[in-house]
Structure 1
Amino acid sequence: MSTATAELKPFETTVDQMLVHALAHWPDELFIAADGVELTYAEVGARVDALARGLTALGLAPGDRVALWMSNIWEWVVAQFAVTRCGAVLTPLNTRLRSDDLAHALHDSGARFLVTQDHAGEFSYLATVRGLVESGRVPALQQVVVARPAAGLTAPFLGWDDVLAHGQASAAAPRPAQDPQQLAYILYTSGTTSLPKGVMLSHANLNNAFRTRRRLQRGDFNFLVFPLFAITGCHNAVLGALLVGAGLVLQQRFDAEEAIELIERYRCKALGAIVSVLPALLQAMNFRADRVASLEHLNVFPRRPQHVPLFQALGVQSVSAGYGMTETAGPLSFTEDMTDAGLRTEGTPWPGTALRIVDDAGQDLPDGSEGQILARSPQVMLGYFNQPEATAQAIDVDGWLHTGDVGRRDAEGRITWVGRRSDVYKSSGFNVASAEVEAFLGQHPAVAEVAVIGVPDADKGEVGAAFVVAQPGQGIDLAGLRAFCQGQIAGYKTPGHVVVLPAFPKTTSGKVRKLELRATHFGHLLSA
C-alpha cells in the first residue's frame, strides 16, 4: 500500500472520502480515457461536483436511490461519484436489461432518479425508458437525466448539461455520507427466486477495493472490458484504481482492433475481461505481440489450465483469480498461482475473511469434501433490499453468508468453486435464475412447459439450455425462442440451446427431473 493510501483505514472509509483523498494526492494523473476523451483526477472531480450540485438542486436527497443505466463511457464514472457525493444510493443496472428486466429493477429499488444515455450504436436507451415512463410501470421515477441527448427533451427527461445549469443556479450543497456503515450501492443479481434481488452494499463493504487494487500503481493503466455496472467494474476496477492513482481505459462497446490500439497507446499494464475476449484480441487483424507488450497482468473469468496458451500468447506475467459474488463486494479469496494445481482453485481467503465448507446440516466437512461455501467477512452485504426474509435465509444469526455455491478446500486452504447448489447458473459472469427465464419463456404462445438449466460453454462459462414441451399443433425452435427474447430480457439470459421434447421426466410430486435432462442431453459437455 502506498504511503498516501495508508492514510485511509480499510473498512472505515466512505466512497466520497476515497475520491477526496485521490483528488488531494494525484490531481494531475490521468483517471479516465474513453471515447477520445481524457480526464485527469482533477477534471473528474470538477465534473463530479458540478453534477452533484445539479442533482441536489433537482431535489436528490441523501438515501434516495439513483439508477444508472449506460454503457462504459466517462459519464458513468462521473455519475457514480456524483451520486455518492450527494449521500444517495447508487443503483447500477445491467446494460443488457430490456423493458421487463428494467421495469422490475426500477420499481423494486424505488429509484427517484435515473441517469442514462440517449443511445449506444443502434440501441436506444432513451426509447426504452420513455416506453416505461409512458406505460406508468415506474411511478416512483421523477427525473431521467440523459447524457449525450440527440434532440430536445421534455419532462421528466433532462439533458446532462441542463442538470449542470440547475446546479450553477442553486446554492444548495450536496451532503455526502459520513458513516461507512451507511448503504452506498444496490446491485441487482439473480438468486434462487424468479426475480433479481437488490444486494445492499455499505461504504465499508466496498472497502474491499483496498484489496482488489493489487498490482496497480500510480500512473498505471487498466484496460477494462468488464462492464462498469458489475461489481468487477464499478468496484474492483474503478475504486481500486482510485485508491492508487491508476487510470482506466474504456470502450463503449468492445472492439478488438480498437482495443489493440488503445492498449498500445496508453501502455496498459492490466486488462480485466471474461476469457473469451482474449482470443478476439489474438485474432484481431492488427494484433502483434509487441503492440500489447506493456500488458503484465490479467484479471479474467474463468481461469483454468486450458486457458494458459492464451495467457502465454499475450506474454503476461500474472493472471489473478478469486472466489466471490456481488453479495460479498467482489472476491473473498485471491490467487496468482500459475501452476496446474493453482489454476484449478480460486485461492485462499483474504486476511479477516473466513470460509467454511459445510454439509446440508451445517456441519463442517473435511478438506477435499464438496459442500456449501459459507463466508463471514466485513465484505458481506447488509442484506437484500426490502427482503428481510430472503436476507435472514442468506445470513444466519452468527453472520455467516450461505452463498448457495458448492466448493471444496484443499490441505493448503485453497478454495475451488464447483457450482451452484440451487437452480442458478452463471453466464458471461452474471448469475441467471432458471426460474426467471422459465417464467418469461412460459409466456410464448407455443410453449406448454419449459425447464431451463445451465450447461458448460467455452466462451461464457455457462449458457442456458431450454427444454420445451410445445402446445398441441405448435412448433418451436431456437431461432424462434431467441427472437421472442429479443429486446425483452437480457441477452445473457437468452438460451443458447433449445431441446423440444414430447414430455418431461418428472418426480412423483410433479417436479421436472433436471438432472436427468442434463445427463441425457448434455452429458458430453459435462464430462468434457
Structure 2
Amino acid sequence: MSKHTGPSTPDPSWPDPSRPDPSPTNLYAALRAAFPQDLSQWAVETDTGLIYSWRDLDSASGKLANLLASLDLPAQSRIAVQVEKSVESMLLYLACLRAGHVYLPLNTAYQKGEITYFIDNAKPAVVVCRPESFNSVSQIAFQHGTQHVFTLGDDRTGSLLERAAHCDDAHTVVDCGLDALAAIIYTSGTTGRSKGAMLSHGNLLDNAQVLKAYWGWSTAGGAHLAGPQGRGDVLIHALPIFHVHGLFVAIHGALINGSPMLWHAKFEPKRAIADMARATVFMGVPTLYVRMLAEAGLTPAAVQGMRLFISGSAPLLTETFRDWHTRTGQTILERYGMSETIMLTSNPYSADARHGGLSERRAGTVGFPLPGVGLRIHDDAGQPVPQGEIGGIQVRGPSVFAGYWQMPEKTKEEFTADGWFKTGDVGRVDGEGYVTIVGRSKDLIISGGYNVYPAEIESIINDMAGVAESAVVGVPHPDFGEVGVAVVIAKPGAALDTAAMLAQLKTELANYKIPKHLAVVAELPRNAMGKVQKNLLRGEWAKLFEA
C-alpha cells in the first residue's frame, strides 16, 4: 500500500485548536463559549436590514428551547423542520441542540409523498412547517403520530414564535454528551428509499473545530481581515440551511469563531458581490460562482477585502475555477464532504505541513484529507490500489456518522470489516497527496449542490402510461454543474408526450430532481447480461448543454 492510499494521520505539529475541547458535552455549549464577551455586538444582519446581536441569538434560542421543554418530550426526540430560510429557523436549530433533541431539516422543495415518508420513518415528536403548508403537513404528521405541529414563516410570524414569546429566555443547556444524536440528515439511496444519516454532537463539533483551524478563521482585526468592529472574519451566508453545507459548515464556521454573518435569505448575485465590501469569507456551490461571473460588478476591487472563497456540494468545473481567478485575482478553495461525514478533504488555505508545505489549490481536485481524517482508495475486492490509480474512496475519523436511522443492516453494509465507511465515490490520490473525485459508483447526480438519485426518478417514469423502460443519467451543465437526462423507451404502439411526462414529474418530485431533458429512443445500450450501460448513455448525451 502506498502511503497516499492509506489513512492520513495528523502531523504532530498541527495546532491543538484543531481538536475539540473535551469538556463540552453539548455542541451548543461549545458554540456559545465562542461568542464575544460583549454580547451587544451584532451577530447577524439580514438582507432586509434586521440586526441580531449575540445576546439575541442566545436569548431567542433559549426561549425556543424552553418551549420544547414545556412539551415534555422524551429525550432525543426528533424535531422535523421544513421552513424557508430565516434567522429564526437557525435559532430553532440552536434550540434543538441546547435542549438535547435531534434536528431533522427537510428541503423546502419536498412534496407530499416525500414528506410522508420522512415523517413516517423518523416519527418526529414535533413538526415545524411554513404557515401556508400547515393544512397538508399537519394532516400527514397527525396521521403518523406526531403530537405537535407549529408554523414558522420567513417574516418572523407563525405559531412557533407566538408560543415561544411566553417562555423564559434563561435556559440551562442539556448535558447530553458528545455521543448523543444532534441531527438526522436524509440522503437518498439508489433504490429511491431515503436514509437518515445520524450525526452526533461530537461529529459536528470536531468538524467545526478542524475547519476553524484549517481554513484560518480569525477574530483578529487587520488589513486582510477588515470585519466590522475589528472582529476579523465576516461570513456571507447565502446557502440554504436544510443541508450540510449551509447548516453545519457555514453556520458552525461563523459561530465557533464568534464571527458575524451577513444573512442572505435568497441568493442574488449583485447583492452578494456588494456585501463583499464588508465581508471576508464566502461559501457557495458552483452555480453561485457561475452566476456571479455573469455580473459586470465582479472585479478585483469588489473582492479586495475577501480572504477566502469556498466551493462545494457539487463538482467545480475547471473553467469556472480559472475564470474566477482571472476576474478577481482570488483562487477558489474546493473541498469534499458528504451528509454522512461532513467535511473530509480540502484544498489548502495555507501551507500544509503534513504535505511538504504545499499550499496550491488545484483545479479539479478536492485537496488533502483534513487533519484527523483517514482516507484510502480500494478496489472492488477491498484491496488497496497503487498510488494514482482509481478506486473506491473509504474514510474514517471523528466526523464520520454513527449509521443510518433504523437501518442497522444498511449501516453494516456501508462499513468495511475494519471500520472504514465506503463513500460510494470513486477517486484517486496523486503522489503529492491531492485527492481527485472522478465519479460515483452509485450513479449519484449532484445538480446545483443537491443530490439526485436516478432510481427514484426512473421508478416514477416507468409507472407512466406507455413507458416500457427508462434510464436517467447525469451530464455536464454550465450552470448547475450536472443535470439529469431521462432516456425513455415506449411500449409498442404507444405515443409518449415528453412535455406531459415532465409536467407529471413536477407534481411528484422536488424541482431540482426533474430532468432537464427527456428523450424517447428505440433502445438502450446494454451489456451481455442485459444491464443498461449508463456510461455509454452519459457519453452520448454529454454535450447536450455544451452550447
Q: Give TM-score, length-normalised by structure 1.
A: 0.87
Equivalent residues, number: 509
Aligned match for 1:363, one of 373, 377, 383: 383
Letter in 1 for 2:27: V
**Structure 2 match to 1:209:** 208
Residues 321 and 113 of structure 1, relative CA distance in 2, 3 Å threshold? same
1:111 aligns with 2:124: yes
1:159 aligns with 2:123: no
Q: Where do 1:200-349 residues align within 5 Å? A: 200-207=198-205, 208-213=207-212, 214-218=215-219, 219=231, 220-264=233-277, 267-284=278-295, 290-301=301-312, 302-312=315-325, 315=328, 317-336=330-349, 342-349=362-369
String of CA shifts for 1:451-480, please: whole Å, max 9, x gaps. Answer: 111122222221111111234554445533
CA apart distance, 1:10: 6.5
1:522 aligns with 2:541: yes
1: CA distance between counterparts of 2:236 and 2:154? 27
Residues 256 and 474 of structure 1, relative CA distance in 2, 3 Å threshold? farther
CA contact (8 A) 1:453 1:464 kept: yes
Residues 350 and 500 of structure 1, relative CA distance in 2, 3 Å threshold? same
String of CA shifts for 1:19-47, please: whole Å, max 9, x gaps. Answer: 33134645234222223221121111110
CA apart distance, 1:525: 6.7
Q: Which runs of 5+ in 1 are unaligned?
A: 119-125, 153-157
Letter in 2 for 1:17: A
2: CA distance between counterparts of 1:457 and 1:392? 35
1:22 aligns with 2:34: yes
CA apart distance, 1:243: 1.1
Letter in 1 for 2:28: D
Letter in 1 for 2:32: V
String of CA shifts for 1:175-197, please: whole Å, max 9, x gaps. Answer: 62431011111001123332221
Aligned match for 2:49, one of 36, 43, 51: 36
2: CA distance between counterparts of 1:23 and 1:140? 38
CA apart distance, 1:88: 0.3
Instruction: For CA contacts below 8 A with separation 6 or more, give which structure has more relative contact order.
Output: 2
CA apart distance, 1:484: 1.4
SS at match of 1:205: helix
2: CA distance between counterparts of 1:10 and 1:412? 33
1: CA distance between counterparts of 2:375 and 2:349? 19
CA apart distance, 1:6: 8.4
CA contact (8 A) 2:310 2:335 kept: no
CA apart distance, 1:107: 1.8
CA contact (8 A) 1:22 1:41 kept: no
CA apart distance, 1:280: 2.3
Letter in 2 for 1:216: W
| Deviates further, 270-279 or 311-320 | 311-320
Letter in 2 for 1:181: D
1: CA distance between counterparts of 2:361 and 2:346? 16
2: CA distance between counterparts of 1:40 and 1:29? 5
SS at match of 1:67: strand
1:67 aligns with 2:80: yes
1: CA distance between counterparts of 2:360 and 2:21? 36
CA contact (8 A) 2:299 2:327 kept: no
String of CA shifts for 1:90-126, please: whole Å, max 9, x gaps. Answer: 11111222222222222211112122333xxxxxxx3
SS at match of 1:343: coil
Aligned match for 2:423, one of 386, 389, 403: 403
**Structure 1 match to 2:222:** none
SS at match of 2:324: helix
CA apart distance, 1:400: 0.3
Letter in 2 for 1:89: V
Residues 465 and 339 of structure 1, relative CA distance in 2, 3 Å threshold? farther
CA contact (8 A) 2:290 2:320 kept: no
Letter in 2 for 1:147: L
Residues 40 and 25 of structure 1, relative CA distance in 2, 3 Å threshold? same
Letter in 1 for 2:216: R
Identity fraction in percent: 30
1: CA distance between counterparts of 2:415 and 2:16? 35
| Deviates further, 310-319 or 78-87 | 310-319
Q: Give TM-score, length-normalised by structure 2.
A: 0.84
Runs of 4 or more above 6 Å deviation: 3-7, 149-152, 337-341, 525-528
Residues 447 and 367 of structure 1, relative CA distance in 2, 3 Å threshold? same
Q: Which runs of 5+ in 2 are unaligned?
A: 1-14, 220-230, 351-357
Letter in 2 for 1:85: R
Letter in 2 for 1:162: E
2: CA distance between counterparts of 1:237 and 1:150? 22
Residues 279 and 475 of structure 1, relative CA distance in 2, 3 Å threshold? same
Aligned match for 2:144, one of 139, 142, 146: 139
2: CA distance between counterparts of 1:115 and 1:65? 11
2: CA distance between counterparts of 1:161 and 1:285? 41
CA apart distance, 1:300: 1.4
Aligned match for 1:95, one of 108, 126, 132: 108
1:511 aligns with 2:531: yes
SS at match of 2:279: coil
1:381 aligns with 2:379: no
1: CA distance between counterparts of 2:387 and 2:204? 30
1: CA distance between counterparts of 2:61 and 2:389? 49
Letter in 2 for 1:428: G
CA apart distance, 1:74: 0.5
CA contact (8 A) 2:111 2:508 kept: yes
2: CA distance between counterparts of 1:514 and 1:309? 30
Q: Where do 1:433-452 residues align within 5 Å? A: 433-452=453-472
| Deviates further, 61-70 or 41-50 | 61-70
| Deviates further, 314-323 or 184-193 | 314-323
2: CA distance between counterparts of 1:174 and 1:476? 61
SS at match of 1:344: coil
Residues 287 and 6 of structure 1, relative CA distance in 2, 3 Å threshold? closer
**Structure 2 match to 1:392:** 412
SS at match of 2:508: coil
Letter in 1 for 2:199: L
String of CA shifts for 1:29-68, please: whole Å, max 9, x gaps. Answer: 4222223221121111110001111121123342100012
String of CA shifts for 1:202-231, please: whole Å, max 9, x gaps. Answer: 111102011223233233221122211111
CA contact (8 A) 1:407 1:418 kept: yes
Residues 403 and 306 of structure 1, relative CA distance in 2, 3 Å threshold? same
Letter in 1 for 2:456: E
Aligned match for 1:486, one of 503, 506, 509: 506
Aligned match for 2:183, one of 179, 182, 185: 185
1: CA distance between counterparts of 2:94 and 2:545? 43
**Structure 1 match to 2:353:** none
SS at match of 1:276: helix
**Structure 2 match to 1:121:** none
Residues 298 and 37 of structure 1, relative CA distance in 2, 3 Å threshold? same
1: CA distance between counterparts of 2:457 and 2:182? 29
1: CA distance between counterparts of 2:87 and 2:490? 46
**Structure 2 match to 1:122:** none
